[in-house]
Chain A
């Protein structure tokens, strides 16, 4: 009797969240996956003509576009030249390892000093609470062809200019910016992990005659492995979804047509949002859905692989 009463009461407590999640979370997951398999889907009317794999074949470059299947001229996947998929992969596999290593170095250094420790902690955590669009604008001015960066290093490189910069120079600046924004959270997590390591381990190592550097590698890395795993899973996921940094830095998000010669460095997420903004949503949502499903699969696969690998690497 009592449990039954509790039962319906619990659902009352959950009702507000459940209603919102049903409409804006659970339904969209199913709907987007279904739409990605629909042929000639029209988002406004809901009309379609059966199921197909065409959407996937099209964005992966196996099938040609046919008349009326939506006009969109960015490339999702291609082995010739930059595409959303490979841009995303490049950003992920460059920024995640570099930022994890730099963050580890900085946090081990901070952990090893006494004076000014709090000061450096605050300095390195500052970028965490900032606005990715606003600071992106700052970076874009610093790296403009007449900007401070060129001035300091006496260079004359057109890093991110609208028309004449190369893909590599745009990508370099973008990666620098992403690493800059990614550091503080990692440092915070690593420092919390380091503070949790018992000082006894270091004392024991010192008595055994291990050098400081050796102690850091042999003791800190294994004991920090849970944090390193957590950080690499979360930062791979967020790197796969990179978007804000590109808009902040390059600000070429509002053109539905890519200007010849510009390097938008569009990623998978950029590709999806750009379709929404291009004003042709009714006929292009099926392709955006397919792109989103591919992103989901990439993220799931990657997380699974990482968890599998971690079973061997994580010490406790």
Chain B
């Protein structure tokens, strides 16, 4: 009832307004001024938020060219005269103390191994789910999707025990065992299988039937027709997988016992970048730490700039199903 009344008032207002003497020019001017104020507010808000967003990146680079004293005195802009000298020494110390290149090497080895096997197994599984008919296909696919709801920590608890029972973890673990312990549990990915299956499903079924008529085998059809068509998705999966491994912290920090074999994200937070203080306790060298952060983040930013299109596509596609 009440609602009705309001509506009536609303319509009368619209009817009355033309009779009100308003100068259309004045009205337009007012409108324009309002738009300009609105735009100024929007740009101001975005600029401030953007600054907050970018500040940690700026500070990371700036601080990697400072001295310990400059950082602990809260300096925001490095001294330009000594910046490049500091930069050189800080990065030199970080490279040698962390043994940076060797950890990049093992990280890349793990990342590429996981990615290659992940892409291969994903292609095979996605093809089976998208094109082949078999008993229990839908039930199995739903079971696969359901595992995405289970937190990884629940799996990690048993996997940690399994790997140690397999003899892959422990204090006298060698490089190959450490490698296997990290790689094995991370190969199968239900999310990528889901992503690729959706893509495979979009390829018209007629193509498949026509190929069958011509006597093309499933295997040949998969590699000669489907994989090339789905290449953009496969590139997205590859990039996301490599980035994921570069950032992998939890699993290697659990199953790799020897710091020499561990991955980049783990080693930068280990306290190797400290000097003996006056009382004998280690003092973290902030500038070196910032240099190590730059060395970890910059490769990612480069990847992001080159493959922006693919990364954004992959991440936003995940959202569309919602």
Binding site for B on A (CB under 8 A): 3, 6-7, 9-11, 13-14, 16-17, 20-21, 23-29, 31-32, 35, 43-44, 102, 105-106, 109-110, 112-113, 116, 120, 122-139, 141-142, 144, 146-148, 150-152, 180, 183, 185, 188-189, 192-193, 209, 212, 226-227, 229-231, 233, 237, 240-241, 243-244, 247-248, 251, 253, 268-269, 272-273, 276-277, 281, 285, 288-289, 292-293, 295-296, 299-300, 303
Contacts and interface: CB of A to CB of B under 8 A. Distances in A.
A234 to B, nearest CB: 8
A266 to B, nearest CB: 13
Nearest to B267: A133
Interface stretch (B18-26, B81-89, B227-235, B242-250): B242-250
A32 B153 CA distance: 10
Interface in B185-232: 185, 187-188, 190, 193, 218
Contacts of B63: 138, 141
Nearest to B135: A7
B184 A146 contact: no
Given A23-B162, A135-B297, A106 B46 contact: yes
A300 B246 contact: no
B265 A133 contact: yes
Contacts of B246: 131
Contacts of B2: none
Given A24-B184, A123-B53, A134-B293, A17 B125 contact: yes
A299 B53 contact: no
A169 B147 CA distance: 37
A28 B159 contact: yes
Interface of B: 14, 38-39, 42-43, 45-46, 49-50, 52-57, 59-60, 63, 71-76, 120-122, 124-125, 127-128, 132-135, 137, 140, 143-144, 147, 149-162, 164-165, 184-185, 187-188, 190, 193, 218, 243, 246-247, 249-250, 253-254, 265-266, 268-269, 286, 289-290, 292-293, 296-297, 300-301, 303-304, 308, 311-312, 315-316, 319-322
A40 to B, nearest CB: 16
Contacts of A125: 312
A126 B53 contact: yes
A275 B322 CA distance: 36
B157 A180 contact: no
A132 B268 contact: no
Nearest to B286: A141
Contacts of B322: 226-227, 229-231, 233
B249 to A, nearest CB: 5
A217 B35 CA distance: 17
Contact of A20 (B43, B57, B121): B121
A138 B56 contact: yes
Given A134-B292, A285-B157, A243 B250 contact: yes
